[in-house]
Amino acid sequence: MTRSEGSVYKSMIDNLSALRAFVAVVESGSFSEAGYRLNVVPSTISKHVSTLEERISGQLLLRSTKHFSVTELGRRFYEMALTILHEVEAAEQELGAYQAEPQGKLRVTVPPAFASFHLAGLLEPFLARYPRITLELRITTEVLDLIDKSVDVAIRISGSLDPSLVAVKLAPNYRRIVASPDYLAKHGTPATPEDLAQHNCLLVSETASAAKWPIRSGDGVGYVAVSGNLIVTHGEMYRRAILAGIGIGYAAAYLVHDKIQTGELVELFPDRKPVLSHIWAVYIERRNLPLKTRAFIDHIRQAFREPPAWARE
C-alpha cells in the first residue's frame, strides 16, 4: 500500500457510516435503494458520498439526472471499503463473542502457601465451567503492582490494602499457636502465653531471630516476645518444621487446621487468637470489568460464602 493509499485508508476508517453508504450505492445501483437498505433518506446517502469525495479529493461517481456510474477511482475505493467493512464486521463479531462468554488469559497472583493449601482445590471447577479462560497463576510472596504487572486479580493476606483497589473480603486470617505432641512431651506445655519465652519458637521473619506474637488480651491485643533457632519463610516448610517437633509455631489456620483435627498438632491458647488480617481478592477498579475477571471473583466469593472450617473461630 502506497503512502497516498494509506492516507485514504485511514480517512475511510474515520467515517464508517459514509463507507457503508457508498458500498450500498454501488451494490444496489440506486441512492434510494441504498437509503432503504440503511434505513436513512436518500439525501443522507448522497451527503455521505459527497463527504468521501471531498476527503479524498476525487470523484467516486459520475452523476446524471437519472443515473450514475462508478469511476475507476470509485471501483478501487469500493474494493478498499469492502475490506475495511469486512474487518470491522469480523472485529464486532469477535468482540461480541468475547463479551458474551468469559474468555482470554486471566492473570492471578497468590501467596505460595495459600495457593497450595486452598486455592488449588478451587481451580478445577472454575476451569471446567469456563473452558475458554486460560488461567495464569503467579505464585509469589511479592506484592505485585497490578497495573505494571498486568495482573487481573490478586489474592492478598493483609491487615491493610491499597485504597485504590477494589477488595472482596474472603475470610479472616486466623493464626494459631501450635506444637507437635512430641515437642510438648519433651519440653513441656506452656501454661500461659508468657511461658513461650522459655520455648524454641519457630519464626518467619527474614531479619531477626526474635519476634513478638500477638495474643488476644481481653478486648485488645497483647504481644509476647519469643525467640528460636529456626527461621523459615516458606509456608509448607514452616508447617513441616512444626510437625517434625523442632519447635512451637505461629501459623495461618489454613496451614495447620487439618493437622489439629487429626491430633498431629496441638493448638495452644485457642481462646486467645486475634484477627489482625484477612484474606482478600483485589482487583483494579474499572467501569467495565472484563467478564473473565468478574467470573473469577464471583467463583471465589461463592467458594467462601460458607466459611471453611479453618476460617471459623
If one compares 258 and 15, the residue with the highest pLDDT of the two is 258
CA distance 85 to 77: 12
65 phi and psi, to 5 degrees?
A: -60, -40
Strand partners, 216: 221
Q: Given pLDDT bands bounded at 50, 70 and 90, which one contains residue 95?
A: low
pLDDT at 253: 92
pLDDT 10s digits, 97-133: 556 678 889 999 999 989 988 888 899 999 999 999 9
Question: Does residue 172 sit in helix, strand or coil?
Answer: strand
pLDDT at 9: 46
Mean pLDDT computed over every residue of the chain: 86
CA distance 248 to 241: 9
Task: Read off the pTM.
Answer: 0.66
pLDDT > 80? residue 289 = yes
pLDDT at 185: 97
205 phi and psi, to 5 degrees?
A: -70, 140
